[in-house]
Structure 1
Amino acid sequence: MSALRIERTGPDSAGRMSDVHAVCFQPFWSAGEIAAMMQMPTTLGLLARKGDAVVGMALCRIAADEAELLTIGVVPEQRGQGVGEQILARGETEAASRGAGRMFLEVSTLNAAGKSLYLKSGYAQIGCRRGYYGDGSDALVLEKTLFGDGQGSGSKLITPLSE
């Protein structure tokens, strides 16, 4: 199979992004919802491709000196091959290049693969939102400094994410 390519994308790729989101999450975000998000200049869309096949996606929002990973997904047959790590790393690089010193995200306490990815990638837990997801699971709020001191992140308790 072809080498993995991570590319920035716009609203015209919302259908492909929604297709990946649908095989990764329930409920999933529709092409219309993704396109609306991608119309905003603060939103970064990334597609991962192997040859002509779309194998992963991510959406980030970048505002001032902070970024938030809104969603990231890898199609099931490509999981465990480093695709998620590469998409996440590209999102972090793009966010940092736009001035974000920190990246935030939420992950379900039930999402073992996501928690493992973020742990390997250097994220730390800074909070928990009880009953955040539709299935009643809690959301761990995670943060990673992308450069410097996180642009004035100040002193706060940061707990390493445990597996």
Structure 2
Amino acid sequence: MRAARPCDLDALETLEQAAFTADRMTRRSLRRLLAAPTATVLVAERDGRLAGAAVVLVRSGSALARLYSIAVDPAARGHGIGRLLLAAAEAAAAARGRDALRLEVRADNAGAVALYRDAGYHPIGRYPAYYADRTDALRFEKALARPVTPLR
């Protein structure tokens, strides 16, 4: 697990193509996120290849962070990479002083919904016809543990 670098752009674009059938991030969006001070892009490597990525967004003045995306290469699924990316995303949001992490997930993505529920996320709403194919999105949120600051 590491922070993504600009040189990961090609691999991130390939991952988007492999992981999602619709609502993919474009190369331009990925490039912008890699450079944005309000975004944290994390990647997981397996066997020397990019196996997954997560994008966390923050806004100034907000106590919330948003998990914008988690993508796992279909060939790497079933090895806990999604769970590791989620934990890293939570740590990144907490390190940036955020109290909670919110996300949207396709209502028909049973695996992802189970992942979020198992990780302690609770439902906070639903967006009807949120995705391009008119599938609903479920909204989830989790309170984050703040990093411990050593006493001086």
Residue number in structure 2 paired with 1:145: 143
Cα distance change on mapping 1:65 and 1:10 into 2, 3 Å:
farther
Is the aligned partner of 1:42 residue 2:38? Answer: yes
CA–CA separation in structure 2 for the residues paired with 1:61 and 1:10: 16
Q: For 1:24, which of 19, 28, 50 is the aligned residue?
A: 19
State the Cα deviation string for residues 63-95 of structure 1 (Å, max 9, x = none). Answer: 242110111011112112111000110110011
Q: For 1:130, which of 104, 128, 131 is the aligned residue?
A: 128
Q: For 2:78, which of 52, 77, 80 is the aligned residue?
A: 80
1:15 Cα deviation after fit: 2.0
Residue number in structure 2 paired with 1:100: 98
Residue number in structure 1 paired with 2:150: none
CA contact (8 A) 1:14 1:32 kept: no
CA contact (8 A) 1:11 1:34 kept: no
* Secondary structure of residue in 2 paired with 1:26: coil
Query: What's the TM-score once normalised by structure 1's chain length?
Result: 0.82
Query: What's the TM-score once normalised by structure 2's chain length?
Result: 0.88
CA contact (8 A) 2:33 2:41 kept: no
* Secondary structure of residue in 2 paired with 1:80: coil
1:50 Cα deviation after fit: 1.4
Moved over 3 A (4+): none
